[in-house]
């Protein structure tokens, strides 16, 4: 398996754990505000392969708690479960970041016990999904299935939304809150413009707007917080 990037240590990506973050290329969404646009192409130059990653992890046993798989969209990789099994055998916990568009693969790895925590992006309310991910007319049936599965609580999880002024408003927040009603954890993340964001001109919402959005979603979920808001 091609590995497109490795952050050797993080205390932010896996709640309560010291972990490394593995970046996998390829994504089936085209969000204009994506921070990892260089990973959209699965054929982008790889930093290492599976054997290199496993060799790195052998040297980190006892030092790292877990491994985070992010992207891109990790569930596009059909060989991901096999790699997870090898990492599991080494004693590491595993977190998965996903866009939710591959519910059957998500269900398989959860039911096999290959993942300890799932972070799923909720891009926007259902009515605004296609516009927000850069694919007008996008069918969110599979995303809905992933949301429904995670809400069953078979694995610890969080939902999260990166808030962009051009795409999100109070109506968006009401739609999202209704959709994920009863969720354990939901985070509103501040958009930060970077060189890796392909589209210029996108903006974060003000702190006051973010706090207003937070109050809207708090009525529907068990725990909601702002993330990255200064």
Q: 0.75 exceeded by the pTM?
A: yes
Does 140 score more than 90 pLDDT?
Answer: yes
Convert the pLDDT of each residue in 68-79 to its tens digit.
Answer: 999 999 999 999
Q: How many CB atoms lie within 10 A of CB 117?
A: 20
| CB of 130 closer than 8 Å to CB of 136 | yes
**Residue 162: helix, strand or coil by DSSP?**
strand
pLDDT band at 145 (very low <50, low <70, confident <90, very high): very high
Which residues span the domain enclosing 44? 2-227
| CB of 21 closer than 8 Å to CB of 115 | no
Domain count for the chain, please give it.
1
Query: In CATH, what number is assigned to the domain containing residue 69?
Result: 3.20.20.70
């Amino acid at each position: 398996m091609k590995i497109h990037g490795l952050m050797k240590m993080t205390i932010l990506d896996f709640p309560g754990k010291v972990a490394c973050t593995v970046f996998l290329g390829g994504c089936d969404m085209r969000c204009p505000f994506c921070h990892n646009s260089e990973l959209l192409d699965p054929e982008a130059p790889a930093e290492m392969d599976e054997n290199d990653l496993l060799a790195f992890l052998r040297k980190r046993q006892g030092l790292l708690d877990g491994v985070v798989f992010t992207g891109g969209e990790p569930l596009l990789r059909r060989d991901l479960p096999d790699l997870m099994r090898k990492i599991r055998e080494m004693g590491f916990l595993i977190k998965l970041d996903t866009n939710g568009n591959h519910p059957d693969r998500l269900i398989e790895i959860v039911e096999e016990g290959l993942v300890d925590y799932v972070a799923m992006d909720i891009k926007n309310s259902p009515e605004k999904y296609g516009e927000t991910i850069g694919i007008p007319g996008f069918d969110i049936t599979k995303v809905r299935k992933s949301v429904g599965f995670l809400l069953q609580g078979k694995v610890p999880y969080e939902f999260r939304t990166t808030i962009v002024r051009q795409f999100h408003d109070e109506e968006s927040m009401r739609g999202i809150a209704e959709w994920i009603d009863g969720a354990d954890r939901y985070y509103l993340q501040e958009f930060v413009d970077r060189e890796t964001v392909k589209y210029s001109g996108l903006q974060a919402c003000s702190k006051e707007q973010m706090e207003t959005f937070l109050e809207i979603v708090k009525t529907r979920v068990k725990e909601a917080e702002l993330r990255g808001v200064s």
